[in-house]
Structure 1
């Protein structure tokens, strides 16, 4: 762990700690800090608009975890996205800011700007491609100059998908050229309410998709080279023999994040880029019928502000992501016909919104603190895969409830 300087009393500050997700992040940081001792001791604080609400969050965490010291020993910082000065003061006290204040398209940029300006690394759990890509466009150069890492989408969106691709590639013996992922879902715990980044991403993204297309044109990116057989996207609704149920395209940030990671790895490390398509299992024919009815309602609701508020109260889901990859086995040139090897991997975890997401966010922060030497360059705006591809984050996640595994590997029979 980096030594704390006199001007940086905290390794981590949780901004938005009194929010719905922030409360769970507080508990996860408290658990991790309780297990850290000696040189690895983690110092942390909470931040937000209301001192009273933050006191209440610490009291609640103290009662739930059986750690009475949280109510008295953890410092509180009053900060508001509408006050640049308060954000600056907060960022000047931390090595890493965990930003839990969303939707990020409305409240995220002031925090990113304050972190970059005041030298604090930044991590969020955003699932909104427009925000994530705009932060890269506008802050990457300055973040590099300042030596600050800005790493978005470090929750359910999109660590399982982005690191799942890297895990699949690392276990493929040869050149991996394409991956399709299937997210299978189940109901979340009773009483949970939907504040997770996936729904926020889908709701607000659908409402303003044209702005994202305009933003992407500003990057001026050339298409990544195609290696292997071109994989076509599947239909809007189709029966997947891979997961034996009907599926639809995934509407979250995973495809955007993975593509940005693949571009980074191609440009910076000359890795062969991987084609990627993401889908969600929806069940049988009855579920498909419900999907069409619900889809029409969704399309109508996202066009109106009140409708968007209604959509963001839908229940959370649990997840299991299966990756089906293809490519060329060792010793086979990609120009020698179609791919001849396949791999199937899996990433499993706990409830995504308030268990897996907060674990991923906290372990991403710990990785920044402990493995800065393995992060790219001196700073910048990155995806999880770009930032953490040379770190031990997958192992850290594996030790905290995530499961990365290879289900099947097929390669051509030896003559």
Structure 2
């Protein structure tokens, strides 16, 4: 394999393939990989490389990157393609139509295989039919290395390992996926994903027979159960939402990981249930309505034809054949909240946060998996076989790699003194404050997605009056600017002075009121921002509604003011805190 390319991307001319190419171009420069792309038409391959060059700013991709013509209808072309590379990333779907010949070609050419499939029938069929061959040929085959279902699978496995180290016995893990996107200008989902879902649901009856063969042993799951309705409203860390069962491949993939852990590693299996977050009951009603129509139409041929011909109509505009714009993708993000229940009735909260999961995120996830195959092959559970993402990469540094690529896995839930700051209109995570307590408090403020540190606050020791140093990163001058928040007690009010960049502000809270205002000291009638403590904070974690009325100062100044106020008014109370 020494003369082979390191990575080859098949399906490069597709919508998702374009994003995967761009991510590969960036990582090839970083790691020194030799790579190439493959598809049906040579001219289109050159075009997507030129587009990738324009987007990434990396020159000469059209001349430096190998291109290979291959077609799923020509098996020999697939074998020849696979023989050129160590790792193949397959982006050609629907996989139930086009995936199996590519897997067969990889086995024949002894090439490692990765895909971004979210189709349970295909994933489970490949494991059932080709696991033994992959072991014999020492070839690693890993499916579902994108949004479906690496996030859920790797998240659950990371929690399992963490709990094992801390002697917690897990009974159940629930995941709650939230997709955060602005008003899309051209839909949120590409047609290829919709097409795979149509055929997947149409053939869902195949799964029962498949699983009887795949799971020969019955897993001894914990008897600990939580009775849930199909649709329910819940509150996690002060954030309320409706939850509906997640229809993707997450449960199927995680279940396969649990079977592997039990039968191969002698680990206790964990019951897993994924959900999708919905912001309101109206959105639930819409989802149920369109879901019912979708399910009904997949049961007969004419209905399927209608779904495939008019995707926008049957998805309320969420699906288009063009896919979302680059701007829409750049502004989108996700967060998956994991709620872990232990056998001794403890509840742990974790969050997996990242950029647009469908395309930008999927490209980072899949290329990250390819890097692990090349760089950390010795940390895989075996030299060959068909694996889930967690089986293959749960013991590699993939999670650390992803945390450097704009993803964050927040462990052990929200600790005391930590805030999550959401945009109230879109429920998108904007910032997160992470604290370290001692005699004083030090906290860093991170912007999301990407987890970039933008500010910090350090409380100075004072027995009576609150006193803290702050620093904020100024993006215009590319430097840190320092300031201070101090406390005073004039005229029966709780008052704080804020100094920042030669500006002096007043933060004032009157007794028996839930409202605190921030004003300019020289124009005390001019309210810059206002925060209000939610009534639910009497019994639940603290929650604030913050309204900023001016852009004279960075928003993070007001966020640090909220942190200072909250800390000073609860020095002896170490509760979980959410900011909004």
Q: TM-score, normalised by structure 1?
A: 0.89
- What residue is the counterpart of 2:422 in the other structure? none
TM-superposition CA deviations, 1:229-257 (whole Å, max 9, x none): 1344x322211233511111000000000
Counting helix residues as a fraction of each chain, which structure ranks higher? 1
Q: Report SS of the residue matched to 1:241.
A: strand
On the 8 A contact 2:145/2:362 being kept in 1, the answer is: yes
- What residue is the counterpart of 2:49 in the other structure? 58
- What residue is the counterpart of 2:230 in the other structure? 236
Change (3 A) 1:220 1:404: closer
On the 8 A contact 2:243/2:275 being kept in 1, the answer is: yes
Change (3 A) 1:286 1:192: closer
Which protein, 1 or 2, shows the higher relative CO under an 8 Å CA cutoff with sep ≥ 6? 1
- What residue is the counterpart of 2:177 in the other structure? 183
2:83 aligned with 1:89: no
Output the CA distance in 2 between the equivalents of 1:74 and 1:297: 45
- What residue is the counterpart of 1:156 in the other structure? 147
2:247 aligned with 1:263: no
On the 8 A contact 1:249/1:280 being kept in 2, the answer is: yes
- What residue is the counterpart of 1:371 in the other structure? 376
2:277 aligned with 1:281: yes
- Gaps in structure 2 of 5+ consecutive residues: 325-331, 417-580
Q: How far is the alpha carbon of 1:319 from its aligned partner?
A: 1.9
Output the CA distance in 1 between the equivalents of 2:357 and 2:76: 34
Q: How far is the alpha carbon of 1:327 from its aligned partner?
A: 1.2
Of the candidates 370, 391, 396, which is equivalent to residue 391 of structure 1?
Answer: 396
On the 8 A contact 2:198/2:304 being kept in 1, the answer is: no
Output the CA distance in 2 between the equivalents of 1:187 and 1:219: 37
* Larger Cα-atom Rg: 2
Output the CA distance in 1 between the equivalents of 2:234 and 2:197: 22
Output the CA distance in 2 between the equivalents of 1:385 and 1:50: 35
On the 8 A contact 2:88/2:114 being kept in 1, the answer is: yes
2:122 aligned with 1:128: no
Of the candidates 70, 77, 80, which is equivalent to residue 79 of structure 1?
Answer: 70
Of the candidates 75, 99, 110, which is equivalent to residue 119 of structure 1?
Answer: 110
Residue-pair matches, total: 390
Q: How far is the alpha carbon of 1:34 from its aligned partner?
A: 1.6
- What residue is the counterpart of 1:334 in the other structure? none
Counting strand residues as a fraction of each chain, which structure ranks higher? 2
Output the CA distance in 1 between the equivalents of 2:14 and 2:90: 11
- Following superposition of structure 1 onto structure 2, how do residues 27-66 of structure 1 map, counting pairs within 5 Å? 27-36=22-31, 41-66=32-57
2:398 aligned with 1:362: no
- What residue is the counterpart of 2:2 in the other structure? 5
Q: Report SS of the residue matched to 2:409.
A: strand
Q: TM-score, normalised by structure 2?
A: 0.64
Output the CA distance in 1 between the equivalents of 2:295 and 2:30: 47
On the 8 A contact 1:375/1:388 being kept in 2, the answer is: yes
Worse-superposed segment, 53-62 or 202-211: 202-211
Output the CA distance in 2 between the equivalents of 1:147 and 1:409: 44
- Gaps in structure 1 of 5+ consecutive residues: 329-338, 411-415
> What RMSD, in angstroms, separates the aligned Cα atoms of the two structures?
2.0
Q: How far is the alpha carbon of 1:29 from its aligned partner?
A: 0.1
Output the CA distance in 1 between the equivalents of 2:30 and 2:191: 27
TM-superposition CA deviations, 1:10-59 (whole Å, max 9, x none): 000000101111111110000111222xxxx2000010000010010011
Q: Report SS of the residue matched to 1:244.
A: strand
Q: How far is the alpha carbon of 1:199 from its aligned partner?
A: 4.5
Worse-superposed segment, 366-375 or 208-217: 208-217
Change (3 A) 1:193 1:51: farther
- What residue is the counterpart of 2:94 in the other structure? 103
Output the CA distance in 1 between the equivalents of 2:307 and 2:104: 27
- What residue is the counterpart of 2:338 in the other structure? 323
Q: Report SS of the residue matched to 1:180.
A: strand
Output the CA distance in 1 between the equivalents of 2:270 and 2:304: 37
2:196 aligned with 1:205: no
